[in-house]
Amino acid sequence: MNTAYHTISRLLCVIIFSILFIVPLHGLEFSDPLPPEELAAAIEAAMSDEQALAQTFMLGWVGAEPSPLIMDWIRDRNIGGVKIFGWNTDDTLLLARTVGVLQEASLAGPFNIPLLVATDQEGGWIRHVKGSTSETPGNMAIGASGYPHDAYLAGYYIGRELALLGINMNFAPTVDLFTNRDSALIGPRAFGSDPVKAGILGAAIMKGQQAAGIIPTAKHYPGHGDTDLDSHGVLPRIDISFETLWNRELIPYRMLSAEGLPAIMSGHLAFPQTSAAQAPASLSSWFLQDVLRDKIGFRGIVITDDLMMNGATTWAGSLSQTAKQALLAGNDIIMLSATPSLFDPVWSRLLASMREEENFRLRVREAARKIIELKLRHLRGRQSVPFIPDLRKVEQEMRDPESAAFFLNLAAHSVTIVKPRTGQSGSAQANVFPLRPENAGQVLLAGQYSDFFRTGTAAFPAAASYRYSEAQGAAPLVSMARNADTIIFCLSDASGLRLLRSLQPLGKRVIVLSVLSPVYLESVPWVDGAVAVYSYATESFAAGFSAITGRIPAQGGLPYD
């Protein structure tokens, strides 16, 4: 009797999912027989333990096309999602075809459930989907402009490109704060140091992505900004009290949760002065349940950062132990950057634990229900991302003139004159800008980006160019600089800073165009002028040289104290 009942229940669920997911592909209207939460509960109840566990898996794979192993996980296990990394994305059309192949395999499964197809397309520095997608000024540029409307449109245009490719989930906005200036991991990925401003701009990006049909995911909870360590290699320990955390790093999450944020990524970060002690937040039920769910009131799903990162596995031990602890702590999706074998312990031990431990089984099934509900709410209807991308639209609509014009305007809104600062009108440096060919003398452009030289020679046609590298040392640069009246130096990192310092004894006029994080400018107070942009996108270089030459006013402000 029970077997017949479950067979009939599963058959009805197949029919329901066919109606809810397959039919809307053809643009047909329908009415839900039940609210999403009740439908999700009915589907989860009809699933076997294996099927429920599979929904919690989000896997990456190596290569531009689907590997046989990732196809096995989708066809044989019906996993809940896939993660697209930078190594999958150089050919935009091929990526769109790949997403279609993955979704077709998933929709052919027992419950016709589509995949969550996720990536990291934050804007600016972090752009995992390459090919013909837009290079954008990034979060710190939005923080420098200060306009929530810029944030909304950035989320919308980035989201629209992802939607064309069939990508329905984005691990953005990044709401980590620019707290530790030595951080090489966060830097210009942050909006700035102000938590309220980060919350406002993060919420605007969230809304923009949702308008494009994308599921936004805020990260890296509870905050990666106050460390210069990278959780890919180690487990960072951030020694701040919970009071500081609550009133600083957690403010953006509190604000976004109140706005209905659907997903959060948990970070592999330890906060020893809190009740989580030495445990990574991503594996801590105190952080994920007591703080995030109970105190903040977050009702969406929680996704781990890559569990193959040392910040997670060095604390928990094996990958299978890490995955189990992640689910028990309150994560709903465990994300792995590589595809394990079908019978890897990360699967077999989790399944065995479901059969042996009722509390773990219930936790996994709860996670599966929440994932299904998320899909019911976001992956269907006229505004949802298509499961099978239209290759013709990909060719015709990717990075249209409207979005290109917006990102150029964003770069122009954000460009910042750092030196001379406002109020230095009496200084000898006050007249350095605008710098034009007729008052610059012989110009030397020194940098490492092709767009810097292309844009720089358009502004200063007679300029000489030197592409520097730290390996060559300072001597060739100094030799060329001796013959110049003005050096315009592109500064983006510590190695560039070391070369820039070699120019000080020459007594030449030195202008710095800072890209990415502008903190390095604090180490060279002797330069005559400094302009900050916040990415190495073409639009950012165009805005920087336009500010240097006076073609546009520099409207941005430094987004940190």
As annotated, the active-site residues are: 232, 305
Q: Are 79 and 339 in contact (CB under 8 A)?
A: no
* CA distance linking residue 432 with residue 548, whole number of Å: 9
* CA distance linking residue 270 with residue 292, whole number of Å: 16
* CA distance linking residue 400 with residue 402, whole number of Å: 5
* CA distance linking residue 503 with residue 506, whole number of Å: 6
Instruction: Tell me the backbone φ, ψ of residue 514, rounded to 5 degrees.
Output: -85, 130
Name the one residue in this structure whose structure tokens are 């969550």.
Answer: 116
Q: Are 83 and 119 in contact (CB under 8 A)?
A: yes
Choose among 153, 138, 141: nearest CA to 413.
141
CA distances from 557 to 173, 226, 422, 525, 534 (A): 21, 22, 11, 18, 12
* CA distance linking residue 190 with residue 401, whole number of Å: 27
- Alpha helical stretches, state H, 357-459: 358-378, 391-397, 401-414, 437-440, 450-459
Instruction: Tell me the backbone φ, ψ of residue 512, rounded to 5 degrees.
Output: -110, 130
Q: Are 174 and 155 in contact (CB under 8 A)?
A: no
Tokens representing 480 are: 């060329």
**Measured on CA atoms in the order 506, 511, 514, 518, is the torsion positive or negative?**
positive
Q: Which residues contact 395 (CB under 8 A, 6 or more apart)?
A: 93
CB pairs under 8 A, 24+ apart, for 549-553?
Answer: 549/434, 549/435, 549/436, 549/459, 550/433, 550/434, 550/435, 550/436, 551/434, 552/412, 552/415
Q: Are 337 and 61 in contact (CB under 8 A)?
A: no
Our separate counts of H helices and E strands in the chain read: 22, 16
